[in-house]
Amino acid sequence: MIEAFFNIEIMKAAWPIVLTGLWNTILLSLIVVPLGLLGGLILALLASIKHPLVRWPLMAWVDFFRAFPPLVLLVLLFAGLPFAGLELGGFACVAIAFFLNTGSYYGEIFRAGIDSVPAGQVEAARSTGLSRMQSMRYVVLPQAVRNVMPDLLSNTLEVVKLTSLGSVVAVPELLYEARQAQSITYNPTPIVMAAVIYFLLLWPLVRLLSRLENRALAGRH
Amino acid sequence: MSGWDKFVETFFNAKVMVKYLPDILSGVVVTIELALLIVVTGLGAGLAFALLRSLAIRPLNWLIIFVVDLFRSLPPLVIIVLMYFGLPYAGPAPSGFVSTWLSLAFVLMAFSEEIFWAGITSIPKGQWEASRSTGLTFGQTLFNVVLPQAFRLTIPPLTNRTIAITKGTALGTVVAVTEILGQASSAMSNSYNPSPLMMGAAAYVVLFLPVVVAARWVETKFAWKR
């Protein structure tokens, strides 16, 4: 058992490979999280225009990407687009898929946050002479973000976990490198290493979220 | 041939679509089977663990919290890969279907336990005390007083989480499960044409979009009034 899953020799041999994967996972997360946040913010700002011609297509967009599995989106971009003469690398495909998929989730969260700020705040801000943009930027958004912080963090956790999908399109992140090491060594230890690294990396965030969520639900009474 | 015709010919090729429709449909059946199994076992186990946790047995609760944290922090694909490629070294060799089912059920269990537990703890202590003092047993209080209120509170986060995790059935394609994406990918490489992939994508939309729209409705219906 220990020989198979916690083999010290294999760990030593696989460590440099796994470490490369870890760095790439961190880099990838640092790119796709801001990208998703940006997509979400754009969607939420558009949603604050309460016109039906904006609202309905936007809702359809968000619901579409909430229904569509991210892996299918990724495969569609990676394996489908070349047939249209557009060959993007695995990395670009991950970036686009995440912008579309996680952007929709972030968008819903930001929208809920903006809705949670009372209308009186905007009215007060506008009546002091702030423009629409200024009241959004300086009055509504800061409060909105604070109100939905637990949801934003929880979605960010999911986004970081989702970067493991990159392994399917040969992006050399943690899971991909671990599987490479596994196929070289004929031993599952590298995958166990990857799992332990993911756990150590994300556990603090999970603990924090668990406390925030309990407090949020309990506060409703 | 104009550009548009060529596009349709490539991505919506009628001949290819007709040929591979049965494959995609069999993939739909597998996806639905997987999804239902995951939802039933994942939510069932999550509720069971939340109830166990309400018994407040210290060491047991630590264990539950650890297991829940573990499956919340690991990416589902990592769990699936570990189970499918790793477990055989220790003896049992679960099929791709079983690996995907169990992995996603564990993940759903972890998330739903947290949500159920948050729902249970959100019921003020006074309600417990009042119920017990009228002569209700612990079990009666839990099932007749606490859970009905807790459920209402948990429904919006629970539906969202359940959809997100059930969508993960597509991950099964990595471990050779013949669900929609798996069928579509192999049909695509057999036919050198992306039309099966478009059909697969459409199948996911047909399956999951109604669920997402229904969830939106449920969310507004059960929303706690501010």
Q: Does B123 or B64 have the greater pLDDT score? A: B64
Residue B30's domain comprises 21-181
Residue B224 has pLDDT above 70, yes or no: no
Instruction: Please give the Cα distance from A40 to A102 (Å, whole number).
Output: 8
Whether B11 maps to a domain, the answer reads no
Report the pLDDT averaged over residues A194-221: 83
Report the pLDDT averaged over residues A139-163: 93
- The CATH number of the domain holding residue B155 is 1.10.3720.10
Q: What is the pLDDT of residue B221?
A: 78
Q: What is the pLDDT of residue A218?
A: 60
Whether B130 maps to a domain, the answer reads yes
For A19-55, the pLDDT digits (tens) are 999 999 999 999 999 999 999 999 999 988 888 888 8
Which has the minimum average pLDDT: A113-122, A206-215, B73-82, B168-177?
A: A206-215
Report the pLDDT averaged over residues A130-154: 92
Distances (CA, A) of B123 to A150, B119, B127: 21, 7, 7
Among the partner residues A80, A164, A206, nearest to B194 by beta-carbon distance: A80
Which residue from B96, B116, B98, B151 is spatially nearest to B45, judged by alpha carbons? B116
- The alpha-carbon gap from A187 to the nearest alpha carbon of chain B, in Å, equals 8
Q: Are A69 and B180 in contact (CB under 8 A)?
A: no
Residue A201 has pLDDT above 70, yes or no: yes
Minimum Cα–Cα distance from A211: chain B residue = B118
Q: Are B180 and B127 in contact (CB under 8 A)?
A: no
Residue B196 has pLDDT above 90, yes or no: yes
Q: What is the pLDDT of residue B226?
A: 41
Q: What is the pLDDT of residue B41?
A: 97
Report the pLDDT averaged over residues A145-152: 92
Residue recorded with tokens 């669920």: B211
Q: What is the pLDDT of residue B123?
A: 87
CB burial of B70-92 (b: ≥16 within 10 Å; e: otherwise) equals: bbbbbbbbbbbbbbbbbbeeeee
Residue A169 has pLDDT above 60, yes or no: yes
Residue B223 has pLDDT above 80, yes or no: no
Instruction: Please give the Cα distance from B168 to B164 (Å, whole number).
Output: 7
Q: What is the pLDDT of residue B107?
A: 97
Residue B225 has pLDDT above 60, yes or no: no
For chain B, say whether A56 makes contact (Cβ under 8 Å).
Answer: no
For chain B, say whether A88 makes contact (Cβ under 8 Å).
Answer: no
Phi-psi region of B2 (alpha: psi -120 to 50; beta: other; left: phi over 0): beta
In one-letter notation, the amino acid at residue B185 is: S
- To the question of domain A2-218 being in CATH 1.10.3720.10, the answer is yes
Grouping H, G, I as helix, E, B as strand and the rest as coil, residue B189 is: helix
Cα A133–chain centre separation: 27
Give residue B1's pLDDT band: very low, low, confident or very high (50, 70, 90).
low
Burial class (CB in 10 A: 0-12, 13-18, 19+), B171: buried
For B86-140, the pLDDT digits (tens) are 888 888 889 999 999 999 999 999 999 999 998 888 888 899 899 999 999 988 9
**Which residues of chain A neighbour B68 with C-beta distances below 8 Å?**
210
Q: At residue B221, what are phi and psi to the nearest 5 degrees? A: -70, -40
Instruction: Please give the Cα distance from B47 to A218 (Å, whole number).
Output: 18
- The alpha-carbon gap from B136 to the nearest alpha carbon of chain A, in Å, equals 23
Which of the listed ranges A185-189, B146-150, B160-164, B205-209 does the model predict with the highest average pLDDT? B205-209
- Tell me the three-class secondary structure of B26-66, residue by residue: HHHHHHHHHHHHHHHHHHHHHHHHHHHHHCCCHHHHHHHHH
In one-letter notation, the amino acid at residue A62 is: V
Residue A219 has pLDDT above 70, yes or no: no
Whether B201 maps to a domain, the answer reads no
Proportion of chain A above pLDDT 90, given as a percent: 70
Residue A195 has pLDDT above 80, yes or no: yes
Provide the greatest CA pair distance for chain B: 82
Q: In angstroms, what is the C-alpha Rg of chain B?
A: 22
Q: What is the pLDDT of residue A75?
A: 94
Instruction: Please give the Cα distance from A105 to A66 (Å, whole number).
Output: 7
Q: What pTM was estimated for this model as a whole?
A: 0.90
Mean pLDDT value across chain B: 91
Residue recorded with tokens 């490979």: A17
Which residue from A87, A65, A77, A191 is spatially nearest to B79, judged by alpha carbons? A191
Give residue B184's pLDDT band: very low, low, confident or very high (50, 70, 90).
very high
Q: What is the pLDDT of residue B13?
A: 87
Provide the greatest CA pair distance for chain A: 71
Q: Are B149 and B123 in contact (CB under 8 A)?
A: yes
- What tokens were used for A129? 């002479």
Q: What is the pLDDT of residue A74?
A: 95
For chain A, say whether B63 makes contact (Cβ under 8 Å).
Answer: no
Q: What total of structural domains would you count in chain B?
A: 1
**Which residues of chain A neighbour B211 with C-beta distances below 8 Å?**
67
Give residue A58's pLDDT band: very low, low, confident or very high (50, 70, 90).
very high
Residue recorded with tokens 């039906």: A52
Q: What is the pLDDT of residue A221?
A: 47
Mean pLDDT value across chain A: 90
| End-to-end CA, chain B | 60
Residue A214 has pLDDT above 80, yes or no: no
